Structure 1
Amino acid sequence: MTVTPSAPSAGPAETTTAAATSLRSGSLGTTDIAFFVVSAAAPLTVMAGVAPLAILMGGIGAPVGYLLAGLTLAVFAVGFTTMSRHVRSAGAFYAYITRGLGRRVGIGAALLALIGYNGMEIGVYGLLGTATRDTVHSLFGANIPWLPVSLVGLLVIGYGGYRSIDFGAKVLGVLLVAETGILVLLAGGVLIKGGAHGLSLAAFSPGNVFVPGMVAVLAFAFAAFTGFESTVIYRREARDPSRTVPRATYLAIGFLGLFYAFIVWIAIQAFGDAQVIAAAGADPAGLFFSAITTFVGPWAADLMRVLIVTSVLASLLAFHNAINRYGLALAEEGILPKAVARIHPRHRSPYVAGLAQTVLGAIVVVAFAAAGADPYMQLLLWVNTPGMLALMLLQLLAALAVPFYFRRIIHGEGALRTVVAPVAAAVLLTGAIWLVVSHLDQFTGASTAVNTLLAAIVPAVLAIGLVLAWWLRRARPAVYANFAAEPPAEADA
């Protein structure tokens, strides 16, 4: 794969062709990349929308589930970030998997990544429509249809991806500060007033952690971190990527794990250890709004509703940017059409890949609407679920790839980073995938037949990718031979 060295920023009148333009290298620091990753996780939406279910199923020990999920992914990050210092390809997951497990599996992983990231984003347009509809109804009493909102959201996100990466980083920085800020405001109110019945650490006692419902909590918790590994996708646009990418990865995992656990604990304190499960069961969707109304004020609940919409927008923009860069890398590999590799001469963004992703999203959203599907229960949950499983499987394959990769090269890395941590991560991630698959009905609310179909999509896509690799080896041997090749050293400059 050939990567054109970065050129100075082009002006509007510059006649340089898009194909000869590179991404804007050196644009993103550690915090910028972490903003993309944490924004994709949508902390406010995860807390207000999912955490009440975790409390309902796992009891007051739910905060520990998020800590355990974060710890597992931190173990994964040890091998993952160690390998990032040696693999400079823009292909992220599939490049790592190719180097460790071979081109066939790598090409299968590339297809899996496309499906996974697209699934994680496109389904969320259903959530955007319903969240906006519910917010407008709550604030103004008006009823608006979800489909126009989702389509406008597609255009807004498409424009955000069309602009430069530093523009996206600034937008996400503002939105992320706002959504985490409202949760910090809730936490401040609860702590100052001492909770409903005084502050308690009973949530962290073994008797409340080692309960049967913790299995379901762990499944929800692992899902809440989906997309954290996308730090490496921004390698070509990062400043000093060998340092920036690992730092951003650990920063994102550490922040999400601690913040999730802290906010879930705050929600428990807002109602009391003995009362919170009943409150979550009576109105899970309203748990956080009720808490912030009590401890901060009704105005804060209204603001939280608005910020949930912006939280969803931030998640969409973050995933959109990640998908665009995967599309760009695969077009440069020769897997996708060459036109997808075009980069805007002024904004230095993969704008054709972004346009293709926006069109695909519109097709899926309109198809679900035409079928009369529910935007939340079907568009969101049915499209997100295989996307989530695909990304978890990619994490597992990447963990397995690390020790195989380091066996093939001369390096100065220790066994803890190259063998022990990745093998431990692979074991833990296998357990995490089993937890999610075995509790799929709690994610989708669908029948066994639908859940079986949704889960089957992931191995089916991987199998199609393996067939594609077989075909490329015979029909396009040059593309196969150069797949996930190491770029020139100046690409990281």
Structure 2
Amino acid sequence: MSVTTPDPAQERARSAAPGLRSGTLGTADIAFFVVSAAAPLTVMAGVAPLAILLGGIGAPVGYLIAGLTLAVFAVGFTTMSRHVTHGGAFYAYITRGLGRPVGVGAALLALIGYNGMEIGVYGLLATATQDTVHSLAGTDVPWLPISLAGLLLIGYGGFRSIDFGAKVLGVLLVAETGILVLLAAGVLLKGGAQGLSIASLSPGNVLVPGTAAVLAFAFAAFTGFESTVIYRREARDPQRTVPRATYLAIGFLGLFYAFVVWIAIQSFGDDAVVAAAAEDPAGLFFTAISTYVGDWAADLMHVFIVTSVLASLLAFHNAINRYALSLAEEGVLPRRLGRVHPRHRSPYVAGLAQTVLGAVVVAAFWAAGADPYGQLLLWVNTPGMIGLLLLQLLAAIAVPCYFRRVRHQEGALRTLVAPVAAIALLATAIVLVVGHIDLFTGASPTVNTVLVAVAPTVFAAGFPLAWWLRRRRPRVYAEFATERSH
């Protein structure tokens, strides 16, 4: 039996869940969600200085390498999206290629991955807001109320319709991208500190031991790009929209990250930037924009970092809700989580559950006297980041396995060559990230061991759950990750 490409109109009618607004989002809308999850301004101002410190002036190439690797992964990933239209995305692909037990484990991994990436960021929201208030008003504010207010704000954003979220994220993304473009314009017009240089591309500056650490940061910066397929139910013409949005997000992030890191290097000069990053990594970008644009721009950047974090939180919140919705429809999670609001057409019960979970975790870290950045952000984000990288690797493995079992008209480049290359590249990326995990967490070896073990442990828990479903709920098990007509 051959697999044919469905008609877009029939595809939308068949795959739209009850209540969800089918055919609303276009390529740019979905790309906004994905790029907002990556939070370019937060990644650049908050993490890029450390990448420069560790990798030197060759750091921009690390982001290009990460982007190229994920573009290779996207070839097989988006090809499979034309054949598997299930809203579960990663876990559905993995189930089709590697079987239901692995797929159930992948579903749990997706939940821990996206929740870890979002909930930890409430710590970043707190510290970014504290820094902004202190810089602009000279006032110190406690971090817990900031995080809780953020939870309520993001919960409301997820409660509203998906197109409302797309509009909000579009505005915030333009603002944070604009301030970085303004910095770039100032540096380019003034020729940098020592004249513009392309020494960052020199092999001698790229092939250094610190590049491994840069790659770990760079792959982490792209986390969440794969969520394009989660929105296929709400996409206009998902057969075209999803692949285009995926490549648009990867291409923009890879080129933009590399360009902005290069700009930061030019703002201080090849010979001085590493010392500047060592002296004040948190202030590197603020110093640069004050020098080349003005103090007013640094104040604006402080504000936009807060909105950048909010954009990231809303994008991850929406992705989590849709995974929970899909698993509730499967019967793996309580059916109540699959309720869709009759007016806003959003998975509001799943969103409420995620908000409550976030509040519990944030409150627990506060009660323990934890630091919102060094512990809430980094310790909760780390298992999430590793979980999503493992999902990407499993999905890459699933692609050739799936296409070996079905008849299709796709070429070997998309169904075998690119996925195998992606498997090798992603496995290398995971080794690099785990090998340099102390750079992310700043924690003790014992804590790092626990953080690294969370994702594989959650994945392994999927196997006994799958066995229990097969024994006790055979219909749920048999229909897991299968296409459902609505």
Structure-1-length-normalised TM-score: 0.95
- Correspondence for 1:391 among 359, 381, 388: 388
- Counterpart of 1:299 in structure 2 is 296
- Asked whether the 8 Å contact 2:15–2:86 carries over to 1, the reply is no
Matches of 1:21 and 1:458, distance apart in 2: 32
Runs of 4+ in 1 over 3 A off after TM superposition: 3-8
Give the match for residue 200 of structure 1: 197
Partner of 2:145: 148
Which residue of the partner structure matches residue 159 of structure 2?
162
| Equivalent in the alignment of 1:289 | 286
Q: How big is the shift at 1:22?
A: 2.1
After superposition, give the CA deviation of every residue in 1:258-292 in whole Å (9 maximum; x if it has no partner): 00000000000000000000000000000000000
Partner of 2:44: 47
Q: How does 1:344-383 map to 2 (within 5 A)?
A: 344-383=341-380
| 2:170 corresponding residue in structure 1 | 173
Q: State the alpha-carbon separation in 2 of the partners of residues 396 and 68 from structure 1.
A: 17
**Does residue 76 of the first structure (1) align with residue 61 of the second (2)?**
no
1:134 aligns with 2:131: yes
Counterpart in 2 of 1:236? Answer: 233
Return the letter of the residue paired with 1:82: T
For residues 201 and 14 of structure 2, what CA distance do their matches in structure 1 show? 50
SS state of the match for residue 343, structure 2? coil
Whole-Å Cα distance in 2 between the matches of residues 114 and 250 of structure 1?
A: 24
In structure 2, give the amino acid aligned to 1:162.
F
Q: Aligned residue for 1:60?
A: 57
In structure 1, the gaps of 5 or more residues are 9-19
Q: Pick from 303, 308, 316 the counterpart of residue 305 of structure 2.
A: 308
Q: Distance in 2 between matches of 1:57 and 1:21?
A: 50
Offset at 1:49?
A: 0.5
Shift of the alpha carbon at 1:6? 8.6
- The corresponding residue for 1:329 is 326
- Cα distance, 1:21 vs. partner? 3.8
1:147 shift after superposition: 0.3
Letter in structure 1 aligned against 2:149? V
Residue pair 1:88, 1:487 contacting (<8 A) in 2 also = no
2:243 to 225, 242, 246: 246
Shift of 1:100: 0.3
The aligned runs of 1:442-461 (5 Å cut-off) are 442-461=439-458
Deviation at 1:465, TM superposition (A): 1.1
For 1:465 and 1:183, locate their aligned partners in 2 and report how far apart those are by CA, in whole Å. 42
Equivalent residue for 2:437, pick from 433, 436, 440: 440
Q: Which residue of 1 aligns with 2:116?
A: 119
1:273 corresponds to which residue?
A: 270
Q: 1:5 touches 1:22 (CA, 8 Å); kept in 2?
A: no
2: distance between equivalents of 1:467 and 1:222?
Answer: 31
- Equivalents in 2 of 1:367, 1:447: separation in Å? 20
Deviation at 1:487, TM superposition (A): 2.6
Asked if the contact 2:25/2:163 (under 8 Å) is kept, the reply is yes
Q: Provide the C-alpha distance between the structure 2 equivalents of 1:419 and 1:436, rounded to a whole number of angstroms.
A: 26
Shift in alpha-carbon separation, 1:161–1:423, aligned structure 2, 3 A: same
* Distance in 2 separating the partners of 1:440 and 1:187: 31
Answer yes or no: is the 8 Å Cα contact 2:230–2:319 preserved in 1: yes
CA distance in 2, matches of 1:213, 1:142: 38
Question: 1:479: which partner in 2?
Answer: 476
Task: Give the counterpart letter for 2:394 in structure 1.
Answer: L
Q: 1: CA distance between counterparts of 2:393 and 2:363?
A: 33
Is 1:85–2:46 an aligned residue pair?
Answer: no
Q: Please report how far the alpha carbon of residue 4 of structure 1 lies from its aligned counterpart in structure 2 after TM superposition.
A: 11
Aligned length: 476
Give the structure 1 partner of residue 21 of structure 2: 24
Superposition deviation, residue 197 in structure 1: 1.0
> By how many angstroms is 1:467 displaced?
1.1
Question: Partners of 1:59 and 1:133 in 2: how far apart?
Answer: 30
Amino acid corresponding to residue 328 of structure 1 in structure 2: L
Is residue 226 of structure 2 the alignment partner of residue 261 of structure 1? no
1:416 maps to 413
Distance 1:316 1:335, change over 3 A: same
Quote the offset at 1:438 in angstroms: 0.3
- Match for 2:268: what amino acid? F
Distance in 1 between residues matched to 2:63 and 2:174, nearest whole Å: 21
Q: Determine the C-alpha separation between the residues in 1 that align with 2:21 and 2:229.
A: 15
Maintained 8 Å contact 1:70/1:257: yes
Q: Output the CA distance in 2 between the equivalents of 1:470 and 1:352.
A: 28
Superposed displacement of residue 111, structure 1: 0.3
Measured in 2, the distance between the counterparts of 1:222 and 1:462 equals: 21
Q: CA RMSD in A?
A: 1.3
Structure 2 SS opposite 1:123: helix
Per the alignment, residue 96 of structure 1 pairs with 93
For 1:23, the aligned partner's letter is L
C-alpha separation between the residues in 2 aligned to 1:212 and 1:469?
43
The AA in structure 1 aligned to 2:247 is Y
CA contact (8 A) 2:12 2:233 kept: no
Q: Quick check: 1:6–1:22 contact (8 Å CA) kept in 2? A: no
Counterpart contact for 2:122–2:150, Cα < 8 Å: yes
- 8 Å CA contact 1:7, 1:21 repeated in 2: no
Secondary structure of the structure 2 residue equivalent to 1:393:
helix
- Which is worse superposed, 464-473 or 315-324? 464-473
How far apart, CA to CA, are the structure 2 residues paired with 1:487 and 1:232? 16
C-alpha deviations, 1:435-491, integer Å up to 9, x for none?
000000000000000000000111110111111111111111000000001133xx6
Give, as a single letter, the amino acid of the residue that structure 1 aligns with 2:300.
Answer: L
Counting aligned pairs with the same residue, the percent is: 80
Aligned-pair CA distance for 1:7: 12
CA distance in 1, matches of 2:13, 2:47: 44
Partners of 1:421 and 1:21 in 2: how far apart?
36
Q: Is the 8 A contact 2:12 2:23 kept in 1?
A: no
Is residue 130–residue 375 contact of structure 1 (8 Å, CA) maintained in 2?
yes
Match of 2:217 in 1: 220
TM-score by length of 2: 0.97
